Structure 1
Amino acid sequence: MKAVVITHTDLDGTASAAVLLRYLGRVDKLLFIQPSSLVKAVSSLNCDSGCVVYICDLSPNSSNYVALMESLRKLMRRGASVWWFDHHIWDDLWVSELREVGVKLFVDRSTCAAGVVVKYLGIVDEVSVRLARAACSLDMWVFDDWLGNFLARYVGFSKSSNWRRRAVGKLSSGELLDEEILRVVEESVDRELEILSEALRKSKVKEVCGGVRIAYYYKAVKDHVTSYIASLQMSRFSADIALICRKGSASLRSRGSINVREIAKKLGGGGHEYAAGFSIRPRLLHRLLLYLGITGPYTEWCVSKVEKALCSDEYSS
C-alpha cells in the first residue's frame, strides 16, 4: 500500500503529517504546499489502485474548487483512495460533492487539523495527542500550550523540503524538545525580534467603511511569523483587521468583530472566520517595483482590494 501525504507548510500541517507517519508506519511521498497549489499537487500524483492519498490542513476555495474536483475524479478513477482531514470552513456543497465521489472527508472546526487526524482515526498514543494539542494552541489562536511556540519555530526554521521532511521525522519520533530544537528556537527568536520590530515601524493604519481599522504591512521574509505580526499590529494600533501582504498572497487576521473569511472568499481565497488568506498576482509595474525593493505601491494596492471587498454591499460579517 502506497501512502502519499499532502499537507500545509505550517506547524499544524507538519504535525498532521507526523501523526500520520506514526499511525501508518511509513509515508512514501510527502508534499508540503500552500492552498493555492492544491490542484497542481493532486494532478501531479502518479497514483492508482493500492495508493492512499491523505490531505491535511488544506481546504478548497472558490477559485480552485471546480478544477480540484476534476483532478480528484481522475485520481479516483485510476483506483486511488483519498482521505481528507481539515478544520477550515467549507461550503456545504463542497462537502457533499466530495463525499459523493468517494472522498473520505473529515471536517471539524472544533479542533485543528492534527486534532482532526487524531480524533477521526481514533489515535490515542501520547506523542500524537501531545503534538495535536501543541499545534491547536497556535493554529486556533488559544495559546494554551507553550510547546506549540517552540515546535512552530523549529518547523518554520527553513523552507526547504528536506528540512520539512526532517521536521516530520523529528516530531513523529517523539523527540519534541531535544537540544537541536532548543538551539533552533533560540536562533529563531533572535531573528523574529528583528522582524517584529521592523513590522511595527513599517506598519500603516487605514480606516475604511466608516470606522473599520486595518493595520497593514508588506512582509518580505518567509519566516512563519505572520500570526505574531498580526497580533502585534492589532494590539499596538487598536486595529480590527491585520493585513499582511506578500508577493503573490496576503493574510488576514481579526479578533472577532470582522469575519475575514468572507473577505478572503470574495478575493478567491478562504480560511477561518478570524484567520484567512488569498492569492494576489502583482501587476507588472508592481513586480518591477518589488524587484527594485519598492514595496509601497503594491502594499497600497493590496489594502485597496481588501477595502473594496470589505465595504461592498455583498459583504456580510
Structure 2
Amino acid sequence: MKDWVIDDDALPIERKSILPGEGFFVPDSIEDEREDAEAEAALTGADVAVVADPDADGLACTALVREVYGDAALVDAGPHDLDEALERVAEYAEPDARVFVCDLCPDAYDDVGAPLETLVERSGPVRWFDHHQWDDAVAEAVREAGVDLVVGDSDEECTADVALRSLDYEFPEYLAELAAVTRDHDLWLREDPRSDDLADFSYWSDPEEYIEAVAEHGADLPPEIEEFLAEQRVEKEALIEKAVERADVEEVGPWTIGVTYGRCSQNEVAEALRQQGTDAAVVVKPSGSASIRGTDAFERAHEVAGQVNGGGHPKAAGCKPDIYDDMLDYAHHWTTRGAVAKQVIVDAFRNLEYDEPDSDDERADAEGAGE
C-alpha cells in the first residue's frame, strides 16, 4: 500500500473526519516491535518506572513522580494493552525498581493478573493511583497481589489529585495547581480555560514533550505552545463541526441521546450536543471505539460502556464494541458512519433499568389527593 493512501496531510477534512488516523493501518505486530524497543531503551537501568495513560491526567502523574524521584522511565498504555506494559516493565526495568501505575483501570483481574504478579515478584514497591470506577473484586485482587492501590472518588478527583496526596512530598504550588487544572478537564468541570490547553497539548504532543513542559511551567503553558495550539485548533474545530452536523437524536426511556460519528474531540462534540438539549452523547470513532458522555441528567455512562467492552466514569466512559472480525467490517463501519456500533451502544442504553414516569392520570390523582 502506498504511503499517500493513508497520509493525513493529503486528506480533505470531510474524508479525514470519516477515516482513522495513519496509526490505525500499522499492524499490531509492527507496533509491538516498536513499543518493545522503546520500552527497553527507556527502562534499561531505570530504578523508577511509571505506566500511565498518555493523556493529561496520566502524564501529570508522571511529572509528579519525577518531581519526587528524579528520572523515571515512562511506559504509556491504555486499558487494552496494560498487560503488555506491565510485562515490559517486569522484563526491562532494574530488579527492585520502584513502579507506579497511573490513571488506568482493568476491567477484570485476569486481564492483568499474571504480568502484575510477575512484576510484583521482580520489582520493588508497586503503587497504583487511579480515579476510575473500580470493581470491588478487581481492586481487592490487585491489593492481594501486593500492590498499594489508591482509588480516588471519580466525582471529586482526577488521578493527579490522587498522586499529589499519596506521594509523601511537599510539592511546589504550581504543581498542585497543575493537578487542579487537570481535574477541571478530566472531570469536565470547564471552569478553568487552561484545562482545555492541557488536554489539547497532551493529545498533539509527544508524551515526553508534554511532561517536560508541565514539569517546568505547570498549567501556564508558554507562548510558543499556545501558538502551536492555536494552529492545531483550526482543524480541530472543523472536525468537531463535521461530527455535530451528522449527529442524530435518539429517545430512549427518559433520556435524549445525541449519537454521532467521526474523528474528533469527543468532549467538545458532547458539549455541543448537550447545548442542543441531549442528556447524553455517543461519539463513535472511525477506529471502532466510542466515547459516551453524560450530564447531570444522565450519570450512568460507565454502565452503558460496561455492556460494550468498556468502562469509565458516571459522566465519561469509553468502549469498543466487539463487532469487527475483519477489514470488511471496518470498511462497512467507515462507509455507514458507524451504523452497527451506534446501534449496539444505543441498545445498551435501552438495557438500563429506570423508573417509568407517572402517567398524567396518576399525577392528577396524586395532586388531587394532596388538596
Pairwise CA distance, 1:145: 2.1
Residue 303 of structure 2: aligned partner: 262
- Size of the alignment, in residue pairs? 300
Larger Rg: 2
The whole-number CA distance in structure 2 between the counterparts of 1:94 and 1:49 is 26
Residue 100 of structure 2: aligned partner: 54
The whole-number CA distance in structure 1 between the counterparts of 2:58 and 2:214 is 12
Residue 217 of structure 2: aligned partner: 174
The whole-number CA distance in structure 2 between the counterparts of 1:78 and 1:84 is 16
Residue 342 of structure 2: aligned partner: 303
Pairwise CA distance, 1:48: 5.6
Residue 185 of structure 1 aligns to which amino acid in structure 2? L
Residue identity over aligned pairs, in percent, reads: 26
**What secondary structure sits across from 1:243 in the alignment?**
strand
Contact 1:36 1:279 in 2 (8 A): no
Pairwise CA distance, 1:103: 0.3
Q: TM-score, normalised by structure 1?
A: 0.88
Q: Does 1:228 align with 2:268?
A: yes
CA RMSD of aligned residues (A): 2.0
Contact 1:48 1:80 in 2 (8 A): no
Residue 84 of structure 1: aligned partner: 128
Match of 1:183 among 209, 227, 240: 227
Question: Alpha carbons of 1:143 and 1:52: their partners in 2 closer, same or farther (altered >3 Å)?
Answer: same
Residue 367 of structure 2: aligned partner: none
Match of 1:252 among 262, 285, 292: 292
Segment drifting more, 269-278 vs 30-39 = 30-39
Contact 1:250 1:279 in 2 (8 A): yes
Residue 130 of structure 1: aligned partner: 177
Residue 129 of structure 2 aligns to which amino acid in structure 1? F
Residue 159 of structure 2: aligned partner: 113
Q: Does 1:242 align with 2:286?
A: no
Pairwise CA distance, 1:273: 0.7
**What secondary structure sits across from 1:213 in the alignment?**
strand
Residue 317 of structure 2: aligned partner: 276
Residue deviations 1:148-188 (CA, integer Å, cap 9, x gap): 12222222124xxxx11111111112263212211122113
The whole-number CA distance in structure 1 between the counterparts of 2:227 and 2:308 is 40
The whole-number CA distance in structure 1 between the counterparts of 2:178 and 2:249 is 37
Pairwise CA distance, 1:88: 0.8
Structure 1 runs of 4+ with >6 Å offset: none
Pairwise CA distance, 1:316: 6.6
Residue deviations 1:81-100 (CA, integer Å, cap 9, x gap): 31111011111112222112
Pairwise CA distance, 1:289: 3.2
The whole-number CA distance in structure 2 between the counterparts of 1:295 and 1:179 is 42
Residue 364 of structure 2: aligned partner: none
